[in-house]
Structure 1
Amino acid sequence: MKKSHVFCAVLSAVSSLAFAGQAPGLASAPDMAISHHDRVYAAEQFSNTVSVTDPVDNKLVGVIRLGDPSPGNFSPLYKGQVLVHGMGFSPDHKTIAVVSIGSNSVSFIDTQTNAVKHVTYVGRAPHEAFFTPDGNEVWVTVRGENYVSVLDGHTYEEKTRIITPAGPGMQIFSPDGKYGYVCSSFNPEVDVISVADHKIVGKVTQVSPFCPNIAATPDGKQVWFTLKDTGKTQVFDARPPFATLKVIDTGPITNHVNIVHNANGTFAYVTVGGLNQVKVFRTDDFSQVATIDVGNLPHGIWPSGDGTRVYVGLENADAMAAIDTLTNKVIATVPIGQAPQAVAYVPDAVPEGDGTQNTQPLGLAGETAHLNMVAVGGGNASGGAPTSVALFDQGLLQVLQASATGLEPKSPYVLGLADNPDGSGKTESLAKFMTNPAGSAIVNAIGQIRQVVVPGAKTASDKRRYLVIAPQTSGVPGAAVQVQAL
């Protein structure tokens, strides 16, 4: 046999090796090659949709509409969901659980048909939901209160509550199903809970209070969680005494983390919203091995069933980025709904057919204007991470979301409309906000904003205005520190 043929044979053999164990399963579980039966889901906060993507060709199948845009959802007679946000899926891959913060609900959706088969209402402002590894329970962190709502995994009715410090943020389970790890969004404490009896058996001190996301490695050795307020990622031993192993400075608006195992090893992928990047770390020595530019405000992230890709929801770009994990390059960007939050990759979600039932085209959910803000005088105070702004169309109204960075930590600011491009003149406040310890914030407003700030969108009688961020002094805006990029 010629050398070239031997080389090709070796390459073929290497490429066919299975590197088993993708989150949230066991390391011993077999990998599942990407196929048309798989689906990537994203929970979209301002269009109140769940997007459904086929990962083979990275094509949007359609969206599952759980609710209406504003102001339709302001009505006291409104029955749909509001602020579609969190997501988990069952061990048999037949059900996704979708949390809507504004309507205090968990919608259970059949992956084969995309039909909502049950809605469970829980306490104030739930955040995330996930099935236990045996599928018998669904734990829902009720962030607006002080407990995890435990639902029956088959009837979806609440069976008990686990009391935690106020503001439980997210839960994930050890792959063997022994422990549930619950981080907090209001208190600097992760609780480790015995799944068998729902008792707290350990605590881990968070280095800051605001944890939005948590992930466990398939080998059962580590738990990684993010800290959005300080821009850090913390790692602790998944086994008693649950000691902290590492604290990593990842960057402003650190959002989600997930675990990938491939031919190169096991890695944690962390979305850093304020930098528009995904950072990749080895789990053995915690070294950073890659920085991937993905687009505006990366949020949720989940690996494919074979670990060859990760999918990232881009909150201020209305898109899903697909990353090849062997090269750490973005290989596709898929248009999806407005402000994607949690993402889930579900292998073999659609065993038969094309899986298009009960989906709709993007429609209004695909209408968004994108702007950037830069520091007054050029450059950016954060060293190259501009504030991104998305104007999510809701019909006559737009929801504005700014991913603000490069500001003074723990300081009051105003996002407003100024008369002039340089920020001078009268400033009309849209939203007042306080930055976190990393000098960043997510700022929201609603109104007919696009008609004022986007060139060509105004009517003849309108005067164009310009977005600015200014420090708040004695309750009024001071001189602008960031202005709309023209």
Structure 2
Amino acid sequence: MESRLTFLLLLLAIAFRAAAQAQAPATPGSGAPISSRDRIYTGDQSSNTITVIDPSTLSVLGTISLGSQRLSDVIGPQYIRGVNSHGLGFSRDGKYIVSTSVTSNTVTVIRTRDNAVVSQTYTDRQAHEAFFASDNRTVWVGTRGVDHITLVDGIEGGVIDTIPSPDGQTAYVNHIRSPFIHVLSVATRATLANITGLAHPFSSDMMLSADGARLWAAHKLAGVVSVISTASLRVVAVLDTGPETNHPNFAAISTNGTTTMTYGFVTVAARDATRVYAQPDAEAAPRWVRDVKSSGVEPHGLWPSADNARMYVVNEHSDTVDEIDLTRGEDGFEVVRTVGVGQEGQALVYVSNAVPEGGDGGNENLGTQGLVGGGSAVLNRVVEVDGGSGDNSSSPSALVTVRPAVGLDMFQVIGRNLRLNATYEVSAACGSCGGVRIPLLDFVASMPIPGQAGCATAPQVLGFFKFDGVYDVDSLQVREK
């Protein structure tokens, strides 16, 4: 085990075990129906915003700006605002959300009734995910660049404590360099146990079920999910979910008025789908139910409504949110509505009763930053790669995404099933140059795929230049040099 541990995400168990559950994930009958007082929030990395959505109509009300958009003045010597909006959490009473910015190392708390910033705190490197404790004030922050958890006063701001390596009683902390999960006492901040036997050391995100009995830890690099029983503190199954597995979440659905089925939902970016599993017994392996095809590309964050009637999924590379209907039985889970949001959504949360009854409507302090064409401004192409594959079984490919970025375009490439340490070139035909093919950028496939010798990915290759209107997107080529 490496001496330096990096924490990614913590979950406070009481948040999902309260007897009078108000927030999702919720047990059947404890959460209120979807209403215009509820809100959906997405953390939009490139536009550096939080998109605010009314779930009753699935309409975007506007965005909360955390700073300038990517590639504007964010690298200037006098820039002091947030950079790279990423994770989201909320308080149990629905009065606050918390946003993490992974580049500026900031934790921002926002009041839901009027979208006003309440506090902003600088933490240690790479504040990735955060959530409120059951006191609706203390925020626990997973800072993945260092070896401890940061505790923040969400109302007044400021760091109040740190917890080294690592019901309001229990917290679960995962890592990106060690194959176990810390179980911590919130009261004493001491380690109660370590859950071992995870499928892979890199655990990018995890989630607790509404009854607190299930903890699913996603392993993005390996494309699997460790299914954990919190009662026995053991891994009961490993799900082969697929490449670029992102976030898990749960819905507890009453099947016949007396029986409740817990469904696990896992977004898998390379499949462009949310995989659904049924797990009636927390001590037994789940069964696969179906894949819900996304309307867009690369599903990432997801969260249910408190009444378990809907699951909402943000599509990172399409700048959209899908609404999945959960009321038609497991064979009928499907996307029924889609709405455009800010750029490059990472996280999504659903907050019940975010806007008080008799309030001003919750539209204050909102703007339009990042709302570019309602998702239609994004171009996505999957391009076959000219060159050998990493494992000689699957064809090498690259997902190319182009979106506007303050006067230029953000050109992003995700290389899949490539040869480890091989160099690749991306080119396109220049329309204003008589169709001449122009090299756009080179990249190296340097991220090994676990269990596949010689096989690698290039998870995020970025370039910034004018593409739209200059090059033909359908002429894109990727070749091994």
TM range (shorter): 0.7 to 0.9
Per-residue CA distance 1:172-228 (angstroms, 9 max, x = gap): xxxx23211111123222111111111111112332122221111121211111000
How many residue pairs are counted as aligned between the two chains? 430
In structure 2, distance between residues paired with 1:312 and 1:397: 28
**Paired position in structure 2 for 1:9:** none
Secondary structure of the 1:407 match is: strand
Mind listing any 5+ residue stretches in structure 2 that lack a counterpart?
1-18, 256-260, 431-435, 451-455
Once the 2 structures are TM-superposed, how far is the Cα of residue 441 of structure 1 from its aligned partner? 4.2
Per-residue CA distance 1:242-291 (angstroms, 9 max, x = gap): 11111110000000011111223211110001110100111224001110
**Paired position in structure 2 for 1:274:** 270
Per-residue CA distance 1:140-195 (angstroms, 9 max, x = gap): 01111111101234433211111127xxxxxxxxxx23211111123222111111
Equivalent in 331, 340, 344 of residue 336 of structure 2: 331
1:389-400 residue pairs with structure 2 within 5 A?
Answer: 389-400=400-411
Per-residue CA distance 1:419-448 (angstroms, 9 max, x = gap): 679xx9885634334234265442131321
**Paired position in structure 1 for 2:426:** 417
TM-score of the two chains, using structure 1 as the length reference: 0.81
1:379-390 residue pairs with structure 2 within 5 A?
Answer: 387-390=398-401
**Paired position in structure 2 for 1:361:** 368
Q: Are the aligned partners of 2:386 and 2:479 in contact in 1 as well (CA < 8 Å)?
A: no
Bigger relative contact order, structure 1 or 2 (CA pairs below 8 A, ≥6 apart): 2
Once the 2 structures are TM-superposed, how far is the Cα of residue 81 of structure 1 from its aligned partner? 1.1
Residue type of the alignment partner of 1:447: F
Q: Are the aligned partners of 2:415 and 2:459 in contact in 1 as well (CA < 8 Å)?
A: yes
In structure 1, distance between residues paired with 2:207 and 2:101: 21
Mind listing any 5+ residue stretches in structure 1 that lack a counterpart?
1-18, 166-175, 457-463, 471-477, 479-486
Residue type of the alignment partner of 1:296: V
Matched, 1:443 2:435: no
In structure 2, distance between residues paired with 1:415 and 1:41: 37
189-198 or 224-233, which moves further after superposition? 189-198
Once the 2 structures are TM-superposed, how far is the Cα of residue 364 of structure 1 from its aligned partner? 5.9
**Paired position in structure 2 for 1:65:** 65
Once the 2 structures are TM-superposed, how far is the Cα of residue 93 of structure 1 from its aligned partner? 0.3
Q: Compared with structure 1, are the counterparts of its residues 115 and 400 closer, same or farther at alpha carbon in structure 2 (3 Å cutoff)? A: same
CA RMSD of aligned residues (A): 2.9
Residue type of the alignment partner of 2:384: A
Q: Compared with structure 1, are the counterparts of its residues 375 and 194 closer, same or farther at alpha carbon in structure 2 (3 Å cutoff)? A: same
Q: Compared with structure 1, are the counterparts of its residues 260 and 427 closer, same or farther at alpha carbon in structure 2 (3 Å cutoff)? A: same
In structure 1, distance between residues paired with 2:146 and 2:24: 26
Q: Are the aligned partners of 2:153 and 2:159 in contact in 1 as well (CA < 8 Å)?
A: yes
Q: Are the aligned partners of 1:310 and 1:324 in contact in 2 as well (CA < 8 Å)?
A: yes
Per-residue CA distance 1:284-313 (angstroms, 9 max, x = gap): 240011101102000000001111111111
Q: Compared with structure 1, are the counterparts of its residues 91 and 385 closer, same or farther at alpha carbon in structure 2 (3 Å cutoff)? A: farther
In structure 2, distance between residues paired with 1:370 and 1:210: 30
Residue type of the alignment partner of 1:357: E
Per-residue CA distance 1:334-376 (angstroms, 9 max, x = gap): 1001100010000111122322111112556557431312325
In structure 1, distance between residues paired with 2:25 and 2:438: 56
TM-score of the two chains, using structure 2 as the length reference: 0.82
In structure 1, distance between residues paired with 2:103 and 2:122: 11
Secondary structure of the 2:212 match is: coil
Equivalent in 221, 228, 248 of residue 213 of structure 2: 221
In structure 2, distance between residues paired with 1:387 and 1:57: 36
Q: Compared with structure 1, are the counterparts of its residues 397 and 268 closer, same or farther at alpha carbon in structure 2 (3 Å cutoff)? A: same
Q: Compared with structure 1, are the counterparts of its residues 42 and 131 closer, same or farther at alpha carbon in structure 2 (3 Å cutoff)? A: same
**Paired position in structure 2 for 1:431:** 443
Matched, 1:55 2:69: no
Secondary structure of the 1:73 match is: coil
Residue type of the alignment partner of 1:305: A
Taking only the aligned residue pairs, the percentage that are identical comes to 30
Q: Are the aligned partners of 1:20 and 1:306 in contact in 2 as well (CA < 8 Å)?
A: no
Q: Compared with structure 1, are the counterparts of its residues 428 and 356 closer, same or farther at alpha carbon in structure 2 (3 Å cutoff)? A: closer
**Paired position in structure 2 for 1:468:** 478
